[in-house]
Structure 1
């Protein structure tokens, strides 16, 4: 069995989610509602649609790890309306196409973790992970030194994906 493990995410979860009084990071960024923000490297939002948005994972499992997040703040997938579900799935497909175009991965992990016991780092707001996978995406560093190598910096990845999204939107 293959295990995706990202030990560096522990610090992120501790610093951002132990205080439940904080605003949801998928709803508010720098005291502004996500729905009102334009995509930028600062908020890691790549694209917005009617019911959801694409955000880069600040602590990715691998380069190109994206999340599709509904604007509706809910921890229950059963609370999503049909038009929200349709938009989310359409945007997930859009993410797969963009990642194929930019990185040419060998496969994908696409999923959702509902609840803490299911592995959700942020359990109060559902979100869908799109993780590109490559035949050689495991290396000795994970085994020897408890770390994972991400090949590109977040800013470079953001720019590559943002440009690909702009191009794809122009094509229709």
Structure 2
């Protein structure tokens, strides 16, 4: 037995702090996955979001071809998704106006995030297909993830936990007020 195993067997504390985040279990367990799963959802959350109330959907801005929504499971505070209204899976399937507006809204999202939270940088990207990491592969979405110096601390690396200092609804309200008309 190692020293650590002896302490556990004896019921002694291991000197680690615990941060409980039970709200994450719905994501981990898949309880909130759409019917049919993420690859072929019976009801696509990105198709449903624009028709729901702003508070229910977390939509920040709407354009003619795309909309911007807060990520329900953000990598960092203010993690936005730019989604076409049209249910399309692959970037190459977008038509010219959709591509242009997606790019424009991504730029605006970056400006708004900088204005609201002084982000130092961004990760931008699309995961094309489930094997590439797309949680909802059937509906294209561009990630706009704000980054700050030192934001990759021990919590996600060692604790596999992300600490978010603000509720999603509060973040959405800040972005809506800052989004240009």
Q: Same fold per TM (> 0.5)?
A: yes
Instruction: Kindly report structure 1 stretches of 4+ aligned residues shifted beyond 4 Å.
Output: none
Cα distance in structure 2, aligned partners of 1:21 and 1:138? 32
Give the drift of 1:13.
4.9
The answer to whether the 8 A contact 1:17-1:122 is kept is: no
d(CA) in 2 for partners of 1:161, 1:69: 16
Equivalent-residue separation in structure 1 for 2:178 and 2:29 (angstroms): 28
Where does the alignment leave 5 or more consecutive residues of structure 1 unmatched? Answer: 1-7
Please state how far the C-alpha of 1:17 moved relative to its aligned partner: 4.1
Of the two, which has the highest radius of gyration? 2
Structure 2 residue aligned with 1:28: 48
Q: Distance in 1 between matches of 2:147 and 2:75?
A: 10
Report the counterpart of residue 64 of structure 2 in structure 1: 50
- TM-score of the two chains, using structure 1 as the length reference: 0.82
Match of 2:113 among 87, 96, 99: 99
Any unmatched runs of 5+ in structure 2? Answer: 1-23
SS at the partner of 1:42?
Answer: helix
The alignment yields a C-alpha RMSD, in angstroms, of 1.9
Kept after mapping to 1: 8 A contact 2:122/2:147: yes
The residue aligned with 2:86 is 72
Give the TM-score of the pair, scaled to structure 2: 0.78
Q: Secondary structure at the match of 1:162?
A: helix
Distance 1:61 1:21 in 2: 23
